[in-house]
Amino acid sequence: MVPNWMKEVNVGFCKCPAIYHGKKSFIGRTIKEIFEFIETSFVTESYSRRKGLLQSLDPRVKLISIMAVIFATALLADLRALIFIYVFSLLTAYLSKIEIKFFIKRVWLFIPIFSAIIVFPMIFNIFFPGDPLIQLIYLGPGVHMGPFLLPENIYITRQGVYAASIFIMRVATCVSAIVLLFLTTPQQMLFKSVRSVGVPKIYVLTLGMTYRYIFLLTSLVRDMYIAKRARTIKSRSMFEEQKWVGGRIGYTLMRSLDISEKVHMAMISRGFNGDFKTMQEFKMHKRDYIAGAIAISLSAVLVLISQNTIR
């Protein structure tokens, strides 16, 4: 006997709570993000194979130069110098065959915006007294917020805006330098260069394995969802969908432990000793020495500016 629910005919797509492309398709949105993450990763990897300025440099020189610039930038408290370094990073991205729109979006998408949210209270005279720039509201004398006495006028201060701008530009410039390093260097060469400058083997190995397992586990989650969706005939309740998600999380954890053991045994059996082996060998050229000297000189000038030795 055919059950009644199999006799029902749904017009259009199945509006299952977990896969319907509406407000409740939390799994669908997660899978969509996974696809976008993998797609973005492949696009990012393609930048390192282009023939640009940073791609032509030795990864060790590139790593040391960018780290030196980041260290000097972290000491800067001059907004004009920070803007100059940020514009310089945009020029470097352009010469490295990276689309400026993609580069700006990738830099400003998370960390600088999050930093702006953190320093947002700093621009008000409640937290950072200073000269009035824009008056917002007049509270009058004797207004309290809990145990705190508020000023008569709430306004945006000139010093607060300047300090917040310095903090945001400093974060954006440092993030831009890191993004340039990752976009223009193949992952294997980047890990090998990190190891060559003295970073302990265990940290580099952990970083490299983590990077690989992110893709492996996202692919595993994507396959589980596609298999479930292919077998879905009738929608289920939200509780059952959440129960399925909980079970898949436990299965993913067990599967990851099993894969890690097998991969470790396979690597040991092939003679892996913790060092990254690549087909390409490091070789210094004249342009590497010139680029390194320019980066170190620029970093030294920025440090002198931060110490008010150069104005």
Query: Model confidence over 215-261: pLDDT tens digits?
Result: 788 788 888 888 887 887 777 787 887 888 888 888 888 888 888 88
Cβ atoms within 10 Å of 96's Cβ, excluding its own: 21
For residues 107 and 62, the model is more confident at 62
Cβ atoms within 10 Å of 27's Cβ, excluding its own: 23
Which of these ranges, 92-96, 135-139, 179-183, has the smallest mean pLDDT? 135-139
Q: What is the mean pLDDT of the chain?
A: 81
Q: What is the pLDDT of residue 26?
A: 62
Task: Kindly report the backbone phi and psi dihedral angles of residue 185, in degrees, each rounded to the nearest multiple of 5, phi listed first.
Answer: -125, 125
Q: 200 — alpha (psi -120 to 50), left (phi > 0) or beta?
A: beta
User: Average pLDDT in the 182-197 region?
Assistant: 85
Cβ atoms within 10 Å of 81's Cβ, excluding its own: 20
pLDDT band at 264 (very low <50, low <70, confident <90, very high): confident
Residue 62: HSE in the Cβ half-sphere, 13 Å Cα cutoff: 29
Query: Model confidence over 10-52: pLDDT tens digits?
Result: 444 444 444 444 455 566 666 666 667 666 766 677 888 888 8
Q: Shortest CA distance to 27 belongs to which of 259, 232, 293? A: 232
Q: What is the SS3 string spanning the chain?
A: CCCHHHHCCCCCCCCCCCCCCCCCCHHHHHHHHHHHHHHHHHHHHHHCCCCCCHHHCCHHHHHHHHHHHHHHHHHCCCHHHHHHHHHHHHHHHHHCCCCHHHHHHHHHCCHHHHHHHHHHHHHECCCCCCCEEEEEEECCCCCEECCEECCCEEEEEHHHHHHHHHHHHHHHHHHHHHHHHHHCCCHHHHHHHHHHCCCCHHHHHHHHHHHHHHHHHHHHHHHHHHHHHHHCCCCCCHHHHHHHHHHHHHHHHHHHHHHHHHHHHHHHHCCCCCCCCCCCCCCCCHHHHHHHHHHHHHHHHHHHHHCCCCC
pTM of the model: 0.73
> From CA 267, how far away is CA 276, in angstroms rounded?
12
Q: What is the pLDDT of residue 86?
A: 92
Give CA angle at 44 (41, 49), nearest 5°.
130
Is residue 301 over pLDDT 70? yes
**What is the rounded (10 degree) CA torsion for 183, 188, 189, 195?**
120
